[in-house]
Amino acid sequence: MKKSDFYFELPEHLIAQTPLERRDSSRLLVTDRRTGTVNHRHFSDLPEYLHEGDCLVLNNSRVIPARLMGLAEGRTTPIEVVLLNDRGGGLWECLTRPGKKTREGVKLSFGDGLLTGQVESVNPADGNRMIRFQYDGVFLELLERLGSMPLPPYIKAKLDDPERYQTVYSKTPGSAAAPTAGLHFTDGLLEAIERKGVKLAYVTLHVGLGTFRPVKAEEITDHIMHAEFYQMDETAAQLINETRASGHDVFAVGTTACRTLETIADESGRVRAQSGWTDIFIYPGYRFKAVDHLITNFHLPESTLMMLISAFAGRERVMEVYRQAIASEYRFFSFGDSCLFL
Of 142-156, 253-267, 303-317, minimum mean pLDDT range:
142-156
- Give residue 338's pLDDT band: very low, low, confident or very high (50, 70, 90): very high
Q: Distance (Å, rounded) from C-alpha 156 to C-alpha 162?
A: 14
Q: What are phi and psi of 55, to 5 degrees?
A: -130, 130
Reply yes or no on whether the pLDDT at 146 is more than 70. yes
pLDDT value of position 158: 87
**DSSP state letter for 326:** H
Confidence of residue 211 (pLDDT cuts 50, 70, 90): low
Mean pLDDT for the stretch of residues 263-276: 97
Assign 85 a pLDDT band (cuts: 50, 70, 90). Answer: confident
Residues β-bridged to residue 80 = 69, 97
Per-residue pLDDT, averaged over 86-91, amounts to 91
Mean pLDDT throughout 278-287?
Answer: 96
**The whole model's pTM is what?**
0.91
Predicted pLDDT at 210? 64
User: 250 to each of 54, 201, 278, 297, how far by Cα in Å?
Assistant: 6, 10, 20, 18
213 has a pLDDT exceeding 80:
no
Flag the least confident range among 6-20, 23-37, 81-95.
81-95
